[in-house]
């Protein structure tokens, strides 16, 4: 029986989302059809909506943080990326980025996150070559050869945190890891910031300081392992915050590592000023271009002997490590998912997140909203067969 998939399609920059229905193709060799159970709405989706990510072409089906059930396996798909056998009915988490294995970065440098020809679910135009390639749809066509995926029994609305939180693991790895007994400061208490707090503590940091807000998130920051929380609403002057942070470290030296997860450019000079001499600064917050900040190269970089790392995305190994940690459920990761929404509420989530108010339906602020594409549509209009269905 032919399957049909409703999907939320964005038609252009600051455009309209329509719910469209497509015929699900038969999976070819090496492919499979995934029945989406959950897809996270990410800050990056907000930027795609506003056209800040110049590699995206519209119309597009977003949703790069997703997991679901294998509906139909194509030929030769027998095991997941851990070598565990897979069958129809298994739940899997998909690694959104698929590198080419042929370019300079893949083949010679062996750094597939830097692949020059990367394709990624949730970032492709919804055209005849990439139809149904995003998680904001009932089915996803797992169509790029070499797609990595992992079997899991985790609750799907937690499993979708694998991708965003894997950025934190990649960041720590780039900085040579968290030193045992060190002090780590995390700027920002969104989903990635909260993940960085959790993972820093689990990696052996003796003290984790969180600078962020609002209050509810800071409470969660404590639950994730922050020892000290600083509310930017309470301490509004950056110079005061720098003083306060320094006073929380022995000898007033400053934290050994600072992880930037706010996505506000002004956080960068402030975070560099927190850092102890020769400490590591890890930049995870600026996945898209939201402007510049003024850095004093003498004081922020050389004089402090700062070790600065820009971190772009993550790779299969970081996803695998993150999933292993989440599956242990040793922390209340489910609290990061504050909203579960129907497919026709992608736009509402994006607009709420873009206003930085993060409030939706007068409920609490969004930390992570997930889409359940099988939940009854709130508004109900569906455009059928928009493209010819071969």
Would you tell me which residues interact with Zn ion (CB under 5 A)? 42, 44, 99-100, 103, 106, 115, 164
What is 58-117 written as a DSSP string?
Answer: SSB----EEEEEEEEE-TT--B-TTS-B--TT-EEEE-SEE--S-SIIIIIS--GGG-TT
Q: Smallest distance, Å, CB 190 to Zn ion?
A: 11
**Beta strand 119-120 pairing with 139-142:** unpaired
Q: Smallest distance, Å, CB 220 to Zn ion?
A: 19
Rank residues 25 and 164 by Cβ distance to Zn ion and give the closer one: 164
Alpha carbon distance 248, 243 (integer Å): 9
Rank residues 248 and 317 by Cβ distance to Zn ion and give the closer one: 317
Q: Smallest distance, Å, CB 216 to Zn ion?
A: 21
Considering only CA atoms, which of 171, 229, 225, 231 is closest in space to residue 201? 225
Helix (H) or strand (E) holding 282: strand 280-283
Q: Smallest distance, Å, CB 106 to Zn ion?
A: 3
The dihedral through the CA atoms of 31, 36, 38, 43 has a sign that is positive
Alpha carbon distance 214, 253 (integer Å): 27
Q: Smallest distance, Å, CB 108 to Zn ion?
A: 10
Q: Smallest distance, Å, CB 146 to Zn ion?
A: 10
Rank residues 99 and 162 by Cβ distance to Zn ion and give the closer one: 99
Considering only CA atoms, which of 56, 45, 49 is closest in space to residue 15? 49
Rank residues 77 and 106 by Cβ distance to Zn ion and give the closer one: 106
Helix (H) or strand (E) holding 352: helix 346-354
Rank residues 103 and 389 by Cβ distance to Zn ion and give the closer one: 103
Rank residues 165 and 200 by Cβ distance to Zn ion and give the closer one: 165
59 cis-preceded (ω within 30 degrees of 0): yes
């Amino acid at each position: 029986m032919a399957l049909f998939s409703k999907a939320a399609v964005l038609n252009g920059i600051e455009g309209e989302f329509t719910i469209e229905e497509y015929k699900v193709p038969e999976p070819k060799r090496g492919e499979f059809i995934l029945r989406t159970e959950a897809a996270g709405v990410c800050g990056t989706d907000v930027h795609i909506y506003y056209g800040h990510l110049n590699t995206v072409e519209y119309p597009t089906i977003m949703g790069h943080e997703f997991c679901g059930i294998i509906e139909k396996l194509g030929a030769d798909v027998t095991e997941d990326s851990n070598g565990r056998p897979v069958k129809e009915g298994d739940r899997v988490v998909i690694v959104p980025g698929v590198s080419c294995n042929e370019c300079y970065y893949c083949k010679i440098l062996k750094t597939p996150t830097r692949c020059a020809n990367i394709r990624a679910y949730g970032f492709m135009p919804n055209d005849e070559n990439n139809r149904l390639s995003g998680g904001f749809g009932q089915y996803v066509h797992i169509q790029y050869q070499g797609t990595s995926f992992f079997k899991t029994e985790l609750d799907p609305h937690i499993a979708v945190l694998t991708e965003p939180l894997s950025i934190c693991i990649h960041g720590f790895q780039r900085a040579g890891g968290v030193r045992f007994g060190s002090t780590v400061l995390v700027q920002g208490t969104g989903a990635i910031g909260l993940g960085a707090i959790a993972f820093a503590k689990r990696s052996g940091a003796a003290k984790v300081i969180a600078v962020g807000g609002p209050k509810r998130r800071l409470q969660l920051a404590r639950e994730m392992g922050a020892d000290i929380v600083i509310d930017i609403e309470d301490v509004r002057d950056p110079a005061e915050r720098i003083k306060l942070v320094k006073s929380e470290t022995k000898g007033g030296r400053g934290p050994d590592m600072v992880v930037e997860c706010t996505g506000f450019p002004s956080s960068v000079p402030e975070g560099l000023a927190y850092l102890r001499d020769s400490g590591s600064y890890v930049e995870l917050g600026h996945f898209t271009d939201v402007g510049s900040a003024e850095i004093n190269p003498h004081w922020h970089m050389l004089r402090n002997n700062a070790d600065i790392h820009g971190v772009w995305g993550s790779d299969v190994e970081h996803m695998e490590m993150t999933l292993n940690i989440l599956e242990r459920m040793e922390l209340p990761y489910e609290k990061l998912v504050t909203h579960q929404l129907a497919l026709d509420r992608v736009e509402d989530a994006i607009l709420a997140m873009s206003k930085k108010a993060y409030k939706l339906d007068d409920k609490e602020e969004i930390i992570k909203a997930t889409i359940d594409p099988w939940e009854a549509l709130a508004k109900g209009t569906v455009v059928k067969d928009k493209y010819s269905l071969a």
